[in-house]
Amino acid sequence: MVEMQAGHERPLPPWRRMGPRLRRVVQAGLYEAIAIVVVASALSLAFNEPAPSAVGLSLLTSGIALTWNYVFNALFERWERRQPVKGRSWRRRVAHGIGFEGGLTVWLVPVMAWWLDTTLWLAFVADLGLLLFFLVYTVVFTWAFDKVFGLPQSALRHPD
């Protein structure tokens, strides 16, 4: 069977056809590569953090986020397969972004507090700026990724 892009007659090119595991790995890797650059720059500028420390914290948080990204997307796609309405509306994309970022905050705030030698409250406040950026970034990135690589099987409409 040739995988088709939803709403298009032409099959996806071979480089865009991925199984669910490879898709999650590629998506998470691209997402985190961009995030490392943004987070390291933001930490260095906003918190007057030396570059090596900012990069170190960025890599650590990226590792945590990469693991969470894989786990969360696997759970989200499992939930998505059971939904009667297929496709990814903006409402579903926003729910995805909120779920991902909310869970990530639970993991990252203690790490940031430890690394920056501050309280959990101050780490949470510091994380809010990143959280707001990443909330938008997650929704936009996922939309762009789906545009380039097509929707996953869990979101495709199948004739009954």
Whether this prediction's pTM lies above 0.85 is answered by no
Give strand ranges (E) for the chain: none
Extract the residue ranges of the chain whose pLDDT is less than 50: 1-2, 4, 160
- Numbers of helices and strands, H then E, in the chain: 4, 0
| pLDDT given at position 14 | 63
- b/e burial code for range 64-102 (CB count within 10 A of at least 16 → b): ebbebbbebbeebbeebeeeeeeebeeeebeebbeebbe
What SS3 class is residue 25? helix
pLDDT value of position 141: 93
Full DSSP string of 3-18: -B-TT-SSBPPGGG--
User: What local confidence, expressed as pLDDT, does residue 107 receive?
Assistant: 93
For residue 39, which of 55, 20, 63 has the smallest C-alpha distance? Answer: 55
DSSP, res 109: H
Q: Are 39 and 62 in contact (CB under 8 A)?
A: yes
Sign of the CA dihedral with 138 first, then 77, 72, and 105 last: positive
Distance CA 8, CA 13 (A): 12
